[in-house]
Structure 1
């Protein structure tokens, strides 16, 4: 979510009370402003503050794209939290189950192995921790670890080559 300073004639803008959010998990500053990753029981909230005035008179910037509705939901969640109201969970498409998190970690690890020149045997050994990777080629060819390693490599390439956008859309 991107915060900009609200126009001066907006008198109802609340300033952001950092204590209400607790300590951020991540806080970094770059040429585009400050980024905070804040966690609570409802999930992680990524906030980009374009300048110092954005924290004093926050206004949410919602780009009108194919994810506008999701962005508006996150902005409403943020506004409720800022006002001290109950927020509930983030939209379902932004919440990852522990299984999905593990799968994404596995895919990224598989991509790293593949990107460094490793083949399915390397993926099976390093990512899946499978002893099938050390078997003879006839046994390896019929191995479920080989099929799974090939799937991981294929899916990891798709994820890195813009497939990650599906995550943001909840697909």
Structure 2
């Protein structure tokens, strides 16, 4: 939970995607307590000689950015994927100090922090821990699942998924034949997994599950 904000479960309603961000935003800003792929930076205490300040944009292209009372957030792409950086105050980039909450994703957060430090030291290393990276196959699969979830929300059924997402010719079979087809079974599995994903299943995905 970000400082100064109401608990995400207050009032019986939980938001893991930040509710302050419009749904049409190009990139999602996940609440950092649910996303170990978010690097949390604050100003180091006075007296530490940290050398030259770093420019977040030097880590990779900035895909999205926003600022509010809780600090500045950026989504940066490097060779490993998309990394979220949360700068808690104005001095976080000039005198960076990494915050590492000791939660269930501590090892992933530590790996991300270690990779960040190595980048500052000039090493060529991807920022995102391997466990948080999506393969091309996984990316394709999640796109299928999200499309299936959209179809289901619009009232579509297995035949629609088989036709529009699986591109199966079996979707054109008569009802009695389609009922026992492989395409129907695959479409039903896809719908089931899609609904699980959008019903908080994405939290596991955020943690590399």
Q: Same fold (TM over 0.5)?
A: yes
**What is aligned with 1:157?**
195
1:44 aligns with 2:51: no
1:145 aligns with 2:183: yes
State the secondary structure of the residue aligned to 1:167: helix
2:122 counterpart (59, 73, 84): 84
The answer to whether the Cα contact below 8 Å between 1:13 and 1:59 also exists between their aligned partners in 2 is: no
Distance in 2, matches of 1:24 and 1:67, equals: 25
Distance in 2, matches of 1:108 and 1:19, equals: 30
Shift of 1:107: 0.6
1:119 aligns with 2:157: yes
Alignment of 1:9-24 (within 5 A): 9-12=47-50, 14-18=52-56, 20-24=58-62
Pair 1:85–1:99, CA change in 2 (3 A): same
The answer to whether the Cα contact below 8 Å between 2:112 and 2:127 also exists between their aligned partners in 1 is: no
**What is aligned with 2:71?**
33
**What is aligned with 1:128?**
166
Shift of 1:14: 4.9
Shift of 1:13: 6.3
**What is aligned with 1:93?**
131
Q: TM-score, normalised by structure 2?
A: 0.73
Distance in 2, matches of 1:153 and 1:13, equals: 53
Instruction: Give unmatched runs, 5+ long, in structure 1.
Output: none
State the secondary structure of the residue aligned to 1:112: helix
Shift of 1:18: 4.2
Shift of 1:96: 1.0
The answer to whether the Cα contact below 8 Å between 1:13 and 1:58 also exists between their aligned partners in 2 is: no
The answer to whether the Cα contact below 8 Å between 1:14 and 1:82 also exists between their aligned partners in 2 is: no
Shift of 1:113: 0.9
Q: Deviations over 1:43-75 (max 9, x none)?
A: 332212223221111112211110001001001
State the secondary structure of the residue aligned to 2:114: helix
Distance in 2, matches of 1:29 and 1:135, equals: 53
Q: TM-score, normalised by structure 1?
A: 0.87
Higher helix share: 1
Q: CA RMSD in A?
A: 2.1
Instruction: Give unmatched runs, 5+ long, in structure 2.
Output: 1-38
